[in-house]
Structure 1
Amino acid sequence: MKFAVLVFPGSNCDIDLYHAFNDVLGVEAEYVAHTATSLEGFDGVLIPGGFSYGDYLRCGAIARFSNVMAEVKRFAAEGKPVFGTCNGFQILTEAKLLPGVLLKNENLKFVSRNVAVKVNHTNSMFTSLYESSETLVLPVAHGEGNYYCDDKTLASLKEHQQILFTYDNDNPNGSLHNIAGITNQRGNVLGMMPHPERAMEQLLGTDDGVKLFQAMINNVNRGVTCHEN
């Protein structure tokens, strides 16, 4: 089993994801450059946080045109797991793999701290090891994490149980409906602003991110892919 950690110019959380998989979970992860044209041999894709292409135009707006994104779209279409955190979430919305958009934080300030995050649904390939309504402690570090979508999209997200994570009375950015993380309707693409890859060891204050990645790994081991509804 092997996971691809994408690396764009300006990525700075790729090392955290690499450490989370290789060193903490004991599952092989490999850096893959934005120029790559193939993801053959990988079982999942991890898109890190940071400032891809300096966040010019909009966060993730240039990264979506990178060569590797065609392969990410293929992965998603095949029902394989694709995970994006922070800037990775922004890239997934810009690439239209997830609905909505990430706006500047409501207070127009960069926020970097731990927040309380609620698990809303446990019937996904990412949350199957958590308890329903479990509260996690996860770090955030972003200036544009204010999730927004129109009313029709929000209704669809709720109907299909795509809002996996919400801020639990601790919204750091003003996001709509306290949204912290969503999936696509198929359930195999997850984008979230908090950083579970920075919550892997109690030595650093919290290991609440471990179960998210372990759930991904377990589902890949079982050959689980998400099929079209």
Structure 2
Amino acid sequence: MTVLSVNINKIAVLRNSRGGDMPSVTQAAQTCLAAGAGGITVHPRPDLRHIRPDDVRALAGLLRGGAAEFNIEGNPFAPARGAYPGMLALCAETRPAQATLVPDGDGQITSDHGFDLQRDGARLKPLIAEFKALGCRVSLFMDADSPDIELAAEVGADRIELYTGPYAEAFEAGDYGLVLEQCARAAERAAKVGLGVNAGHDLNQANLGVFLRHVPQVAEVSIGHALIGEAVYDGLAPTVRNYLAVIAAARA
């Protein structure tokens, strides 16, 4: 069964817009887990625009020793800044089950492309080894049409996370066959070299089932923006259960 890991960054965005601790990211995580989510994802950034290092620490305490996984996303090249200690240091402190490495910068509203391993592979390889020495499974954010899928295994990654933004955009436009086929081929290429496959970005209740039926290798989907947006109307726990039902139907 594909694991649903709920990205709760948007809960922190709402909290930060007013200050204080409402809504609570830890309570949101607890609600998602109680509804059946298999993991919690956060993507702290150096500019502290949403999830902050203290949130990561609190969530690590909540998830430590539990059945659900903690997944921390971030740019491993981004240096420490102010309260942000850097991704490697934060993972050393909190020991998540998975570290998802993403090549994003402050100027990006959200992650919008995968790694170029021809350019960054040599620099990533020793960092990946350090994350794995902490006990973290390492996933690399990759474009579905990247020629570098196989290189992810060579630099030591355990999984790739397929960037599904282009698929979601094409699905919305009603012409997604080519992009979906790219995703399926990328997953097959990854599996052939021993890599696990995750997926994330702009997946929602409408497009997720189709995606999973065509890309059966997916071990985990990380979903935040759409899920939290849908939860505004339907409630957080019911929305998580809706996603789990979509996953179950796709895997039936």
| Normalised TM-score (structure 1) | 0.36
Q: Going by fraction, where is strand more abundant, 1 or 2?
A: 1
Q: Going by fraction, where is helix more abundant, 1 or 2?
A: 2
Decide which structure has the larger Cα Rg and report it. 2
| Normalised TM-score (structure 2) | 0.34
